[in-house]
Structure 1
Amino acid sequence: MKAAFEFTKGKLPLLVSIPHAGTALTPEVEAGLSDAARPLPDTDWHIPTLYNFVRSLGASVLVGNYSRMVIDLNRPSDDKPLYTTATTGLFPDTLFDGSATFLPGRAPDARQRQAALEAVWLPYHQQLQQELERLKAEHGYALLFDAHSIASRIPRLFEGTLPDLNLGTNGGRSCDALIEEHLAARMASQQQYSWVVNGRFKGGYITRAYGNPTQGVHAVQLELAQRNYMDEQPPFGYREERANALRPLLEQLISAMMSSAQQIA
């Protein structure tokens, strides 16, 4: 079985988590996928490539290897819903557009899902927690940047077109107010990309579970509209010219998070 994640240890007090870029499948999931799910449309395609600059900066990077069709790393292990509006669960039975994930009668059974929880979900979160503890012990605080992307139009999940950048801080509870303020100011300082703070995407389980500013752990989630760096239709091609235009702003956001955290510390 493929490893649950790929991890790079850095020297900065920053961990970049990328839970939804994986495409690996367990045999039972691969055999049972519907035609709509087989292209893995709900993947955060190319996010490790888009954020490849963070390694050279010295950040730690954690990337999930398995598709969210196997198990969603950004949902709680008890599968408690994160949103009152339409969403998907720990073991997605429907795609974002409402289509069935699996052929009739072909979804993994309870035993297979428990195995995915133990072999994929738990190792990712153990590594995430372990690294945050290491960073805090070494630097006095830890920063968690949870990197995501999604198609810009999904009527089942939200009305109209999604803003280009969707920053989530769990309503201001997952990071210090100064960090949120500086990130918002950096997005407001440019006019190329639309943005919102704590709009439709306020942060998933990772942001909510690990962000604890009173304990020196500051977490944010950035949900990107995929139109800004890739094709949103299969085969989901990477658009390097768009990515190169977007990447400087992402670098500025990472820089703003780190500089504001240093002021707090």
Structure 2
Amino acid sequence: MNAYPSWLEVHEGDAPLVISFPHTGSDLPDDLRGRFVSPWLARRDADWWVHELYAFARGLGATTVRSAISRSVIDLNRDPSGVSLYPGQNTTGLCPLTTFDNQPLYSDGMEPDEAEIARRRDTYFAPYHAALRAQIARLRERYPTVVVYDAHSIRSQIPHLFDGELPQFNLGTAGPSGAVDTSCDNALSDVVENFCRLSGMPHVRNGRFKGGWITRHYSDIPGGVHSLQMELACRGYMHEPAPAALDAHSWPTPLDDDHAAPLRHTLAQVLNACLEFASTRSAA
């Protein structure tokens, strides 16, 4: 059995589907905790409860890879070279210096330098992606086609990052706006988008979130690996305070299973569509 670091959670399934959870963690290592302005700010932008929202996926046979480390320590869905994935748009980097609302994360003089960034790459980024690569390779030995599904969420309103209210479903396939895909076959993204449409909830394909480094890096369509990102607005499964009321007492709110039921129903349809796509292609 592989010996993973305590913060890295890997569940090996037998179906041709790998689900990545790079941003659901909120742990702050003891040696870094005192460098942040506050633990709450350093945890605030997590993809809260997303791994719990998708807990049913293991029952479908999916493999899951999850980090328990806060994205404020290092963002596992960014290019490790530090190159921006969204040129010209406000975003956060490999080792973010600010929150999504452009507030400083670090106390003065405590920001990570190049040596510290390199240490975090070695300590956190490298093991996560080694595990993700290994799971994709393991399943590719068994199936000609595997789907990599990168699972995310974000608050519905963040003016520093996007205008207005984000659609409930934000499907990213590393393509330009609309139904052109580069990280997966259009047959996959078409059916996933259709289930989002049938939900009756707002959705967009390759809108503000087109897929991060994981979606872009692991895509290998000729090699049988199709990847996509699903960015959910948090309001679909938890109750969001108004942006002006966001503070340590109001956020995060718990996952509300009753409230989340319609969203979870659609997500189950989406994951089953991913499995059907991979299984059909593998059988062919």
1:151 and 2:158 aligned: no
SS in structure 2 at match of 1:256: helix
**1:167-178 paired onto structure 2 within 5 Å:** 167-171=171-175, 172-178=181-187
Whether the 8 Å contact between 1:70 and 1:91 is mirrored in structure 2 is yes
Q: Secondary structure at the match of 2:34?
A: helix
Partner of 1:264: 281
**Residue 80, structure 1, aligned to residue 97, structure 2:** no
Residue 252 in structure 1 maps to residue 269 in structure 2: yes
CA spacing shift, 1:240–1:4, aligned 2, 3 Å: same
The one-character-per-residue Cα deviations of 1:20-55 (angstroms, maximum 9, x if unpaired) are 011111234310111485361100010111000001
Aligned match of 2:226: 218
Aligned: 1:67 with 2:59: no
Tell me which of 162, 173, 195 is aligned to 1:186: 195
Q: Does 1:114 align with 2:133?
A: no
Q: Is the 8 A contact 1:167 1:220 kept in 2?
A: yes
**Paired amino acid for 1:240:** D
Question: 1:2 and 1:29 mapped to 2: Cα distance?
Answer: 17
The answer to whether the Cα contact below 8 Å between 1:36 and 1:101 also exists between their aligned partners in 2 is: no
TM-score of the pair, normalised by structure 2: 0.89
> Given the alignment of the two structures, is residue 50 of structure 1 paired with residue 33 of structure 2, yes or no?
no
Q: Residues 129-165 of structure 1, C-alpha deviation per residue, up to 9 Å, x if partnerless?
A: 1111111111112110100000000001100000000
- Inter-partner Cα distance in structure 2 for 1:16 and 1:160: 29
Shift of 1:2: 5.7
CA distance in 1, matches of 2:197, 2:8: 34
Secondary structure, counterpart of 1:76 in structure 2? coil
User: What is the distance in 2 between the residues matched to 1:48 and 1:122?
Assistant: 21
Residue 38 in structure 1 maps to residue 30 in structure 2:
no
Map of 2:169 onto structure 1: 165
Q: Kindly indicate whether the alpha-carbon contact (under 8 Å) linking 1:94 and 1:100 is maintained by their aligned counterparts in 2.
A: yes
Amino acid at match of 2:193: A
Instruction: Tell me the SS of whatever aligns to 1:116.
Output: helix
* Separation (CA, whole Å) in 2 of partners of 1:2 and 1:214: 32
CA distance in 2 between counterparts of 1:219 and 1:246 reads: 21
Q: What's the CA shift for 1:188?
A: 1.8
Query: Could you tell me which residue of structure 2 aligns to residue 141 of structure 1?
Result: 145
Counterpart CA distance in 2 for 1:148 and 1:48 is 9
Q: What is the distance in 2 between the residues matched to 1:110 and 1:78?
A: 11
Partner of 1:205: 213
Which residue in the other structure is 2:247 paired with? none
C-alpha contact 1:163 1:196 (8 A) present in aligned 2: yes
The C-alpha deviation readout for 1:231-252, integer Å capped at 9, x for no partner, is: 3341332222112231110000
Q: Which deviates more from structure 2 when the two are superposed, residues 131-140 or residues 181-190?
A: 181-190
1:197-230 CA distances to partner (integer Å, 9 max, x unpaired)?
A: 1000000000000012121100010000001111
Q: Which amino acid aligns with 2:198?
A: S
For structure 1, the 5+ residue unaligned runs are: none
Deviation at 1:18, TM superposition (A): 0.4
Q: Give the Å deviation of 1:112.
A: 2.8
Give the Cα separation in 2 of the matches to 1:62 and 1:2.
12
Instruction: Report which stretch shifted further, 164-173 or 28-37.
Output: 28-37
Q: Distance in 2 between matches of 1:36 and 1:15?
A: 31
Moved more, 22-31 or 56-65: 22-31
